Structure 1
Amino acid sequence: MANLSLYTVLAVVVLDSDGNRLLAKYYRRGPNAQQGRKSLKEQKKFESELFSKTRKSSSEIILLDGQTVLFKYVNDVYFYLVGNPEENELLLSTVLSSVVEAISILLKHNIDKRSLLDNLDMVVLALDEAIDDGIALETDPNAVAANVSKRGVDTIDMTLPNLNDQTLSDAYKQVKDRFNRALLR
Protein backbone atom coordinates (compact mmCIF):
# COMPACT_ATOMS: atom_id res chain seq x y z
CA MET A 1 0.00 0.00 0.00
CA ALA A 2 1.27 3.45 -0.86
CA ASN A 3 2.32 5.84 1.86
CA LEU A 4 -0.55 8.31 2.10
CA SER A 5 0.54 11.79 3.08
CA LEU A 6 -0.44 15.38 2.51
CA TYR A 7 3.20 16.26 1.85
CA THR A 8 3.25 15.87 -1.92
CA VAL A 9 5.84 18.42 -3.02
CA LEU A 10 9.53 18.15 -2.15
CA ALA A 11 10.71 21.25 -4.01
CA VAL A 12 9.81 24.00 -6.46
CA VAL A 13 12.64 25.38 -8.58
CA VAL A 14 12.57 28.19 -11.14
CA LEU A 15 15.57 28.50 -13.48
CA ASP A 16 16.36 30.85 -16.34
CA SER A 17 17.29 29.73 -19.85
CA ASP A 18 20.97 29.43 -18.83
CA GLY A 19 20.23 27.17 -15.86
CA ASN A 20 20.72 29.87 -13.22
CA ARG A 21 18.47 29.84 -10.17
CA LEU A 22 15.76 32.48 -10.03
CA LEU A 23 13.81 30.95 -7.18
CA ALA A 24 13.98 27.69 -5.23
CA LYS A 25 11.99 26.37 -2.30
CA TYR A 26 12.91 23.03 -0.78
CA TYR A 27 10.44 21.55 1.69
CA ARG A 28 11.75 19.36 4.53
CA ARG A 29 8.64 18.35 6.44
CA GLY A 30 6.65 15.19 6.33
CA PRO A 31 7.65 11.54 6.04
CA ASN A 32 10.11 12.23 3.19
CA ALA A 33 12.10 14.94 4.92
CA GLN A 34 15.33 12.99 4.45
CA GLN A 35 15.01 13.40 0.66
CA GLY A 36 15.22 17.21 0.89
CA ARG A 37 18.48 18.80 -0.24
CA LYS A 38 20.49 19.73 2.83
CA SER A 39 23.21 22.09 1.65
CA LEU A 40 23.36 24.83 -0.93
CA LYS A 41 26.06 22.89 -2.78
CA GLU A 42 23.80 19.83 -3.06
CA GLN A 43 20.90 22.04 -4.21
CA LYS A 44 23.03 23.66 -6.94
CA LYS A 45 24.27 20.25 -8.10
CA PHE A 46 20.71 18.92 -8.26
CA GLU A 47 19.54 22.02 -10.17
CA SER A 48 22.37 21.75 -12.72
CA GLU A 49 21.55 18.06 -13.28
CA LEU A 50 17.90 19.00 -13.58
CA PHE A 51 18.61 21.66 -16.18
CA SER A 52 20.97 19.48 -18.23
CA LYS A 53 18.39 16.65 -18.35
CA THR A 54 15.43 18.84 -19.27
CA ARG A 55 16.69 21.64 -21.50
CA LYS A 56 16.35 19.56 -24.68
CA SER A 57 13.65 17.18 -23.49
CA SER A 58 10.29 17.07 -25.20
CA SER A 59 8.49 15.40 -22.29
CA GLU A 60 7.19 17.21 -19.22
CA ILE A 61 8.07 14.56 -16.63
CA ILE A 62 11.29 12.77 -15.70
CA LEU A 63 12.69 10.66 -12.88
CA LEU A 64 15.87 12.09 -11.36
CA ASP A 65 17.65 10.81 -8.25
CA GLY A 66 14.61 8.69 -7.38
CA GLN A 67 12.26 11.67 -7.52
CA THR A 68 9.48 12.58 -9.92
CA VAL A 69 10.15 15.92 -11.59
CA LEU A 70 7.58 17.79 -13.66
CA PHE A 71 8.56 20.89 -15.56
CA LYS A 72 7.22 23.62 -17.82
CA TYR A 73 9.18 25.95 -20.05
CA VAL A 74 7.61 29.40 -20.57
CA ASN A 75 9.50 31.95 -22.70
CA ASP A 76 12.91 31.94 -21.00
CA VAL A 77 11.95 30.43 -17.63
CA TYR A 78 11.86 26.78 -16.49
CA PHE A 79 9.43 25.84 -13.71
CA TYR A 80 10.15 22.56 -11.89
CA LEU A 81 8.07 20.71 -9.32
CA VAL A 82 9.77 17.82 -7.50
CA GLY A 83 7.74 15.09 -5.82
CA ASN A 84 8.07 11.58 -4.49
CA PRO A 85 8.31 8.73 -7.01
CA GLU A 86 5.11 7.20 -5.58
CA GLU A 87 3.17 10.45 -5.92
CA ASN A 88 0.35 10.80 -8.42
CA GLU A 89 1.75 12.57 -11.49
CA LEU A 90 -1.62 14.08 -12.34
CA LEU A 91 -1.80 15.76 -8.95
CA LEU A 92 1.73 17.12 -9.33
CA SER A 93 0.95 18.29 -12.85
CA THR A 94 -2.18 20.07 -11.63
CA VAL A 95 -0.24 21.85 -8.88
CA LEU A 96 2.52 22.92 -11.30
CA SER A 97 0.04 24.13 -13.90
CA SER A 98 -1.87 26.04 -11.25
CA VAL A 99 1.25 27.80 -9.98
CA VAL A 100 2.43 28.72 -13.48
CA GLU A 101 -1.02 29.97 -14.52
CA ALA A 102 -1.43 32.01 -11.31
CA ILE A 103 1.97 33.63 -11.90
CA SER A 104 0.94 34.32 -15.48
CA ILE A 105 -2.24 36.03 -14.28
CA LEU A 106 -0.33 38.11 -11.74
CA LEU A 107 2.29 39.14 -14.31
CA LYS A 108 -0.42 40.00 -16.87
CA HIS A 109 0.45 37.01 -19.09
CA ASN A 110 4.04 38.21 -19.50
CA ILE A 111 6.22 35.52 -17.93
CA ASP A 112 9.88 36.15 -18.59
CA LYS A 113 13.01 36.41 -16.49
CA ARG A 114 12.88 40.20 -16.13
CA SER A 115 9.21 40.45 -15.12
CA LEU A 116 9.58 37.48 -12.79
CA LEU A 117 12.50 39.11 -10.97
CA ASP A 118 10.76 42.51 -10.89
CA ASN A 119 7.70 40.93 -9.25
CA LEU A 120 9.44 38.30 -7.15
CA ASP A 121 7.36 39.19 -4.08
CA MET A 122 4.11 38.32 -5.87
CA VAL A 123 5.63 35.15 -7.32
CA VAL A 124 6.72 33.94 -3.88
CA LEU A 125 3.30 34.79 -2.42
CA ALA A 126 1.60 32.84 -5.21
CA LEU A 127 3.85 29.89 -4.52
CA ASP A 128 3.07 30.10 -0.80
CA GLU A 129 -0.68 30.32 -1.50
CA ALA A 130 -0.56 27.17 -3.63
CA ILE A 131 1.96 25.10 -1.61
CA ASP A 132 2.59 25.28 2.12
CA ASP A 133 5.53 23.26 3.47
CA GLY A 134 5.07 20.69 0.71
CA ILE A 135 1.30 20.41 1.04
CA ALA A 136 -0.69 21.38 -2.04
CA LEU A 137 -3.32 23.80 -0.76
CA GLU A 138 -4.89 25.34 -3.85
CA THR A 139 -5.09 24.20 -7.47
CA ASP A 140 -7.29 26.96 -8.84
CA PRO A 141 -4.99 29.57 -10.44
CA ASN A 142 -7.66 32.29 -10.28
CA ALA A 143 -8.09 31.76 -6.54
CA VAL A 144 -4.32 31.85 -5.98
CA ALA A 145 -3.98 35.06 -8.01
CA ALA A 146 -6.96 36.62 -6.23
CA ASN A 147 -5.55 35.78 -2.80
CA VAL A 148 -2.19 37.31 -3.71
CA SER A 149 -3.61 40.47 -5.28
CA LYS A 150 -6.22 40.89 -2.52
CA ARG A 151 -3.50 41.61 0.04
CA GLY A 152 -2.88 45.05 -1.46
CA VAL A 153 -6.57 45.97 -1.93
CA ASP A 154 -7.51 46.09 1.75
CA THR A 155 -5.08 48.88 2.59
CA ILE A 156 -6.47 52.34 3.22
CA ASP A 157 -4.92 55.35 1.51
CA MET A 158 -3.71 57.47 4.42
CA THR A 159 -1.72 60.03 2.46
CA LEU A 160 -2.07 63.65 3.58
CA PRO A 161 -3.69 64.96 0.36
CA ASN A 162 -6.33 62.23 0.51
CA LEU A 163 -7.15 63.01 4.13
CA ASN A 164 -7.35 66.74 3.50
CA ASP A 165 -9.80 66.31 0.61
CA GLN A 166 -12.23 64.16 2.60
CA THR A 167 -14.90 65.49 4.83
CA LEU A 168 -15.79 63.69 8.01
CA SER A 169 -18.93 62.22 6.43
CA ASP A 170 -16.92 60.96 3.41
CA ALA A 171 -14.42 59.26 5.70
CA TYR A 172 -17.25 57.73 7.74
CA LYS A 173 -18.93 56.44 4.58
CA GLN A 174 -15.67 54.90 3.32
CA VAL A 175 -15.05 53.12 6.64
CA LYS A 176 -18.67 51.93 6.77
CA ASP A 177 -18.43 50.51 3.20
CA ARG A 178 -15.19 48.67 3.98
CA PHE A 179 -16.67 47.28 7.20
CA ASN A 180 -19.78 46.02 5.37
CA ARG A 181 -17.66 44.40 2.64
CA ALA A 182 -15.55 42.70 5.30
CA LEU A 183 -18.67 41.30 6.98
CA LEU A 184 -20.02 39.92 3.71
CA ARG A 185 -16.86 37.90 2.99
Structure 2
Amino acid sequence: MVNLSLYTVQAVVVLDSEGNRLLAKYYSRGPNAQGHKSLKEQKKFESELFSKTRKSSSEIILLDGQTVLFKYVNDVYFYLVGNPEENELLLSSVLSGLVESISVLLKHNVDKRSLLDNLDMVVLALDEAIDDGIALETDPNAIASNVSKRGVDTIDMSLSNLNEQTLLDAYKQAKERFNLALLR
Protein backbone atom coordinates (compact mmCIF):
# COMPACT_ATOMS: atom_id res chain seq x y z
CA MET A 1 0.00 0.00 0.00
CA VAL A 2 1.27 3.47 -0.88
CA ASN A 3 1.72 5.97 1.93
CA LEU A 4 -0.16 9.12 0.92
CA SER A 5 0.30 10.91 4.21
CA LEU A 6 2.54 13.91 4.75
CA TYR A 7 3.43 12.60 8.21
CA THR A 8 6.73 10.94 7.44
CA VAL A 9 8.68 11.29 10.69
CA GLN A 10 7.67 9.64 13.95
CA ALA A 11 10.61 10.75 16.08
CA VAL A 12 13.96 12.50 16.13
CA VAL A 13 16.36 11.36 18.84
CA VAL A 14 19.85 12.62 19.62
CA LEU A 15 21.98 10.50 21.96
CA ASP A 16 25.53 10.85 23.22
CA SER A 17 28.23 8.19 22.87
CA GLU A 18 27.03 6.46 26.05
CA GLY A 19 23.39 6.26 24.97
CA ASN A 20 22.12 9.15 27.11
CA ARG A 21 19.44 11.40 25.70
CA LEU A 22 20.51 14.85 24.58
CA LEU A 23 17.36 15.70 22.64
CA ALA A 24 14.24 13.77 21.69
CA LYS A 25 11.09 14.80 19.92
CA TYR A 26 8.31 12.28 19.35
CA TYR A 27 5.44 12.96 16.96
CA SER A 28 2.12 11.21 17.55
CA ARG A 29 0.28 12.07 14.34
CA GLY A 30 -0.02 10.16 11.13
CA PRO A 31 -1.52 6.85 10.05
CA ASN A 32 1.14 4.55 11.55
CA ALA A 33 2.24 6.64 14.50
CA GLN A 34 3.57 4.54 17.32
CA GLY A 35 2.75 6.58 20.35
CA HIS A 36 5.74 6.38 22.69
CA LYS A 37 3.68 8.22 25.23
CA SER A 38 5.36 7.58 28.53
CA LEU A 39 8.91 8.54 29.37
CA LYS A 40 9.61 4.93 30.35
CA GLU A 41 8.59 3.69 26.88
CA GLN A 42 10.70 6.38 25.24
CA LYS A 43 13.78 5.51 27.31
CA LYS A 44 13.33 1.82 26.52
CA PHE A 45 13.05 2.55 22.80
CA GLU A 46 16.13 4.79 22.93
CA SER A 47 18.19 2.17 24.74
CA GLU A 48 17.18 -0.42 22.12
CA LEU A 49 18.15 2.05 19.39
CA PHE A 50 21.53 2.65 20.93
CA SER A 51 22.28 -1.03 21.53
CA LYS A 52 21.35 -1.94 17.93
CA THR A 53 23.28 0.88 16.28
CA ARG A 54 26.29 1.28 18.56
CA LYS A 55 28.51 -1.03 16.52
CA SER A 56 26.56 -1.09 13.28
CA SER A 57 28.21 -0.12 10.03
CA SER A 58 24.97 0.58 8.17
CA GLU A 59 22.92 3.76 8.43
CA ILE A 60 19.47 2.19 8.40
CA ILE A 61 17.74 -0.46 10.49
CA LEU A 62 14.25 -1.79 11.04
CA LEU A 63 13.31 -1.70 14.73
CA ASP A 64 9.88 -2.58 16.14
CA GLY A 65 8.31 -2.21 12.71
CA GLN A 66 9.78 1.26 12.20
CA THR A 67 12.40 2.45 9.76
CA VAL A 68 15.29 4.07 11.63
CA LEU A 69 18.05 6.07 9.97
CA PHE A 70 21.01 7.28 11.96
CA LYS A 71 24.24 9.21 11.68
CA TYR A 72 27.16 9.23 14.06
CA VAL A 73 29.08 12.52 14.23
CA ASN A 74 32.02 12.76 16.68
CA ASP A 75 30.35 11.67 19.93
CA VAL A 76 26.69 12.23 19.00
CA TYR A 77 24.15 9.85 17.41
CA PHE A 78 21.34 11.41 15.36
CA TYR A 79 18.29 9.16 14.79
CA LEU A 80 15.29 9.70 12.55
CA VAL A 81 12.40 7.27 13.00
CA GLY A 82 9.88 6.92 10.18
CA ASN A 83 7.01 4.79 9.00
CA PRO A 84 7.96 1.34 7.70
CA GLU A 85 6.45 2.12 4.27
CA GLU A 86 8.21 5.46 3.97
CA ASN A 87 10.77 6.13 1.27
CA GLU A 88 14.22 5.71 2.83
CA LEU A 89 15.75 8.24 0.46
CA LEU A 90 13.34 10.93 1.66
CA LEU A 91 14.09 10.11 5.29
CA SER A 92 17.80 10.09 4.54
CA SER A 93 17.65 13.52 2.91
CA VAL A 94 15.73 14.91 5.90
CA LEU A 95 18.27 13.49 8.35
CA SER A 96 21.24 14.66 6.27
CA GLY A 97 19.77 18.14 5.93
CA LEU A 98 19.15 18.37 9.66
CA VAL A 99 22.62 17.13 10.65
CA GLU A 100 24.40 19.34 8.10
CA SER A 101 22.41 22.42 9.16
CA ILE A 102 23.33 21.77 12.79
CA SER A 103 26.94 21.43 11.68
CA VAL A 104 26.75 24.79 9.89
CA LEU A 105 25.11 26.46 12.91
CA LEU A 106 27.74 25.02 15.27
CA LYS A 107 30.56 26.08 12.92
CA HIS A 108 31.38 22.46 12.00
CA ASN A 109 32.07 21.58 15.64
CA VAL A 110 29.35 19.00 16.31
CA ASP A 111 29.96 17.32 19.64
CA LYS A 112 28.05 16.79 22.85
CA ARG A 113 29.34 19.93 24.54
CA SER A 114 28.70 22.35 21.69
CA LEU A 115 25.30 20.78 21.01
CA LEU A 116 24.22 21.28 24.61
CA ASP A 117 25.66 24.81 24.71
CA ASN A 118 23.65 25.75 21.60
CA LEU A 119 20.55 23.66 22.24
CA ASP A 120 18.27 26.57 21.35
CA MET A 121 19.63 26.73 17.80
CA VAL A 122 19.53 22.94 17.46
CA VAL A 123 15.86 22.82 18.47
CA LEU A 124 15.05 25.68 16.09
CA ALA A 125 16.82 23.80 13.27
CA LEU A 126 14.80 20.70 14.11
CA ASP A 127 11.58 22.72 14.02
CA GLU A 128 12.58 24.28 10.68
CA ALA A 129 13.23 20.86 9.16
CA ILE A 130 10.31 18.91 10.67
CA ASP A 131 6.97 20.23 11.86
CA ASP A 132 4.76 17.80 13.80
CA GLY A 133 6.09 14.84 11.82
CA ILE A 134 5.95 16.53 8.41
CA ALA A 135 9.26 17.05 6.62
CA LEU A 136 9.39 20.71 5.62
CA GLU A 137 12.95 21.37 4.51
CA THR A 138 15.94 19.28 3.50
CA ASP A 139 18.36 21.98 2.35
CA PRO A 140 20.86 22.51 5.18
CA ASN A 141 21.73 26.05 4.07
CA ALA A 142 18.08 27.10 4.06
CA ILE A 143 17.52 25.60 7.52
CA ALA A 144 20.62 27.28 8.95
CA SER A 145 19.71 30.57 7.29
CA ASN A 146 16.19 30.54 8.74
CA VAL A 147 17.51 29.76 12.22
CA SER A 148 20.20 32.45 12.12
CA LYS A 149 17.74 35.05 10.77
CA ARG A 150 15.44 34.54 13.74
CA GLY A 151 18.15 35.52 16.17
CA VAL A 152 19.01 38.68 14.22
CA ASP A 153 15.38 39.78 13.93
CA THR A 154 14.64 39.50 17.62
CA ILE A 155 17.88 40.84 19.08
CA ASP A 156 19.14 43.57 16.72
CA MET A 157 16.61 46.33 17.29
CA SER A 158 18.14 49.69 18.03
CA LEU A 159 16.55 52.51 20.01
CA SER A 160 16.65 54.93 17.09
CA ASN A 161 14.59 52.56 14.96
CA LEU A 162 12.07 52.32 17.78
CA ASN A 163 11.82 56.12 18.10
CA GLU A 164 11.44 56.59 14.35
CA GLN A 165 8.81 53.89 14.23
CA THR A 166 6.72 55.46 16.98
CA LEU A 167 7.02 58.95 15.44
CA LEU A 168 5.93 57.58 12.09
CA ASP A 169 3.03 55.73 13.69
CA ALA A 170 2.00 58.88 15.58
CA TYR A 171 2.11 60.90 12.37
CA LYS A 172 -0.05 58.34 10.53
CA GLN A 173 -2.52 58.21 13.37
CA ALA A 174 -2.80 62.04 13.53
CA LYS A 175 -3.27 62.18 9.75
CA GLU A 176 -6.07 59.60 9.90
CA ARG A 177 -7.85 61.49 12.70
CA PHE A 178 -7.53 64.78 10.79
CA ASN A 179 -9.01 63.18 7.65
CA LEU A 180 -11.90 61.73 9.68
CA ALA A 181 -12.59 65.13 11.23
CA LEU A 182 -12.73 66.75 7.76
CA LEU A 183 -15.19 64.13 6.51
CA ARG A 184 -17.67 64.84 9.31
> Which range, TM-score by smaller chain?
0.7 to 0.9
Distance 2:48 2:138 in 1: 28
Which 5+ residue runs of structure 1 have no aligned equivalent? 173-185
The structure with more radius of gyration: 2
Per-residue displacement from partner, 1:138-161 (whole Å, max 9, x unpaired)? 010000000000012124344xxx
Any idea what SS the aligned residue of 1:6 has? Answer: coil
Q: Does 1:11 align with 2:11?
A: yes
2:80 aligned partner, one-letter code:
L
Structure 2 partner of 1:175? none
SS at match of 1:105: helix
Residue of structure 2 equivalent to 1:58: 57
Structure 1 partner of 2:140: 141
- 1:108 aligned to 2:79? no
Deviation at 1:38, TM superposition (A): 1.2
- Point out where structure 2 has 5 or more consecutive residues left out of the alignment: 165-184
Q: Which residue of 2 aligns with 1:83?
A: 82
Per-residue deviation, 1:32: 2.2
Q: Aligned letter for 2:7?
A: Y
Shift of residue 3, structure 1, vs aligned partner: 2.6
CA distance in 1, matches of 2:109, 2:22: 16
Note the 1:1-185 alignment, pairs <5 A.
1-33=1-33, 35-154=34-153, 155-158=155-158
Number of aligned residue pairs: give it: 165
Percent identity over the alignment is 87
Length-normalised TM-score, structure 1: 0.84
> How far is 1:29 from its partner?
1.2
Deviation by residue 1:32-90 (Cα, 9 ceiling, x = unmatched): 23x12111000000000000000000000000000000000000000000001100000
CA RMSD, Structure 1 to Structure 2 (Å): 1.9
**Deviating 4+ runs (over 4 angstroms):** none
